[in-house]
Amino acid sequence: MLRRREQHAAIFARMRRPDAVDETSQFVQDNRQADSVDSSSHMAPLIVMLVGWLVARSIGAISVWPPADSWSGALRFALAAMFVFTAASHFHPRTRPDLIRMVPTSLPTPALLVTATGLLELIGAIGLLVPQARTAAAAALMALLFAIFPANVHAARGALVIAGRRAMPLVWRVPLQLFWIAALWWVRAS
């Protein structure tokens, strides 16, 4: 409430200056954008996974790619693509600062934790594609999803803005996280 009052005071202060009209409108636009919840950006990893799953299964179905000739085999490749996608966000200049802010304040060295989780996601994605490592990689990625969940809770409860949008509400995040864990469980031995 106090923050909103400060924002309104800043808007009115800017409006009194004739040269600040465009700046004020940009300020209002930025706040409107941050207040909106765009589910497509929240669902980008899921979309990457689902599209990758269908593409991999289609290629496997026509016997061009034998490792993807089953639904679970194709899902393994789709999960690997999704984890590469999410790992990249840990290093992208647009999303990295937001991911660092997601780390609960009780944890030390947030930047190092974001780097480590990004690297672990990348290593896990590669492991899903190596037959000898797929079971261990799936188990490690399931553990990682559990380990990073407090950051998602922190972001949702704090209404943090991630990549220009509010963090996904827990009502969506929890089922999505459980879905990924179940998918990893399914592909761990395929």
What is residue 187's predicted lDDT score, i.e. its pLDDT?
Answer: 94
Cβ proximity of 134 and 127 under 8 Å: yes
* Neighbouring C-beta atoms of residue 126, cutoff 10 Å: 14
Per-residue pLDDT of 129-162, as tens digits, reads 999 999 999 999 999 999 999 999 999 999 898 8
Question: Does residue 22 carry a pLDDT above 80?
Answer: no
- The stretch 103-116 carries a mean pLDDT of 94
Q: Please name which of 170, 166, 165 lies closest in space to residue 150, comparing C-alpha atoms.
A: 170
Instruction: Enter the tokens of residue 125.
Output: 């994605």
Question: Does residue 185 carry a pLDDT above 70?
Answer: yes
Q: Which helix (H) or strand (E) holds 161?
A: strand 161-162
Question: Does residue 25 carry a pLDDT above 80?
Answer: no
Average of per-residue pLDDT values in the chain: 83
Structure letter (DSSP) for residue 165: E
Question: Virtual CA dihedral for 61, 63, 65, 67, nearest 10 degrees?
Answer: 70
